[in-house]
Homo-oligomer: A and B are copies of this chain.
């Protein structure tokens, strides 16, 4: 009787298996996979910019095992778990190439001020009085939760206590290029650049090789560090083969000051001391000459374009169209939420596409597909991780976002890139997968406690306000 029942179940399973994806396949050569996503429009962002209608993606061991039409992928894989994504669009996880994640706790602490007033009256005192490891952990959790909700799967950070940021990032299951800040002033965690370099050494050695975390040094900027310190950081990075994240030419003042001090523009100066290479990530890069763009290309520097922050702080407009023509790797970044005021990559994509049309007086500049590329494969290139992320291609890590595409604001849609860039919002992100792990499903965060995070953030808000009034 028992045997008969088992046999019956097998017969039913076999019968179903040829009909429905939910069970897998009758193909005896099919491969076992961990997760199968079926039915969506897949925007691959590979070199050919393929878009697969009614596609499927098989994920195994955290990687994209198979990507193709639904028929082929489901016939050749047997999944433990299936997500039906019919009517949805699947994109590579978004890459936020520049932020200071714990600064979400300073979101809107002050706005609309001269840069100097903003920094010296609000940001610096607020940091001096509030930033410690616990603060950084709370801010990181808040920022990670916001980023996951908006479909960001990889981010590049520069802040203090970066080891704690790495710890929180790994726990949340998010991918990060995380740089410990090195600056010539005493800051919350390290009181001298030498101490910061020593911290960075331990930090990089601890995290190198981690599947999610790429540890980095983050020298603050050419104008906030001595030449010798920059050389020491470069030597360390060469020795450890580690990434370096740095602010470059964010403001005209910085460009002019460096020019006055060194007789060179910022990128020329950095290049003259041998600082730039194919592991450098240069944020902002607003005030660049054509020659400096050529240097970026020649040295393999990745650039993080932050249109919102650059507009809000009136820094200027980075020469992104020229960088793209010259094939410099350009990604998009939110910058810290204190100057944005959120970590929403969708707004960066939309804004980048429109901003450069305005500054070039040409509506053909930065078409939707190219703008979307900056947030995915372009961002991956800028972070020097494009061999692992940034597109939906077999062999890459499974960093994926499933999008709702039936919001009123998205209806109707004619072209998928147009809809992604000009109509889709962070609130359309439904499910997020990083390294094969589902970190948000149907808008529910699975690796972070949203209500606890908000409660904690509001408590920090109160103590920040109190600290500034003292």
Contact = CB atoms under 8 A, between A and B. Distances in A.
Interface string A411-426: 1111100110011011
Contacts of A353: 112, 312
A202 B108 CA distance: 50
Given A408-B453, A454-B408, A118 B363 contact: yes
Given A314-B361, A357-B311, A409-B344, A414 B461 contact: yes
A351 B354 CA distance: 11
Interface string A98-119: 0000001101111111110010
A189 interface: no
A97 interface: no
Given A342-B423, A413-B461, A418 B111 contact: yes
Nearest to A458: B412
A457 B411 contact: yes
Nearest to A412: B461
Contacts of A341: 418-419, 422-423
Nearest to A309: B354
A300 to B, nearest CB: 29
Nearest to A311: B354
A360 interface: yes
A342 B409 contact: yes
B314 A360 contact: yes
A395 interface: no
A412 B107 contact: yes
Nearest to A341: B422
Contacts of A280: none
Interface in A362-400: 362-368
Number of copies: 2
Interface stretch (A70-78, A142-150, A169-177, A322-330): A142-150
Contact of A408 (B146, B350, B464): B146
Contact of A409 (B146, B364, B406, B412): B146
Contacts of A423: 107-108, 341-342
A309 to B, nearest CB: 9
Contacts of A316: 358, 361
Nearest to A450: B408
Nearest to A369: B112
Nearest to A344: B409
A419 to B, nearest CB: 6
What is the interface residue range for chain A against chain B?
A: 35 or more
A427 interface: yes
Contacts of A31: none
Contact of A108 (B114, B360, B366, B415): B415
A123 interface: no
Nearest to A427: B427
Contact of A425 (B340, B363, B425): B425
Given A426-B409, A454-B408, A357 B414 contact: no
A395 B369 CA distance: 50
A303 to B, nearest CB: 19
B422 A342 contact: yes
B363 A113 contact: yes
A128 interface: no
Interface in A212-234: none
A125 to B, nearest CB: 14
15 contacts: A104-B411, A108-B414, A108-B415, A108-B419, A108-B422, A142-B408, A149-B409, A311-B354, A312-B354, A314-B361, A317-B358, A341-B422, A341-B423, A408-B454, A413-B461
Closest 8 CB pairs of A and B: A412-B461, A112-B367, A427-B427, A108-B418, A341-B422, A311-B354, A146-B408, A314-B363
Given A112-B357, A344-B409, 20 more contacts: A111-B368, A111-B418, A112-B353, A112-B364, A112-B367, A113-B364, A150-B409, A312-B363, A313-B357, A314-B365, A316-B361, A341-B419, A341-B422, A347-B350, A409-B426, A411-B453, A411-B457, A411-B458, A412-B461, A414-B461
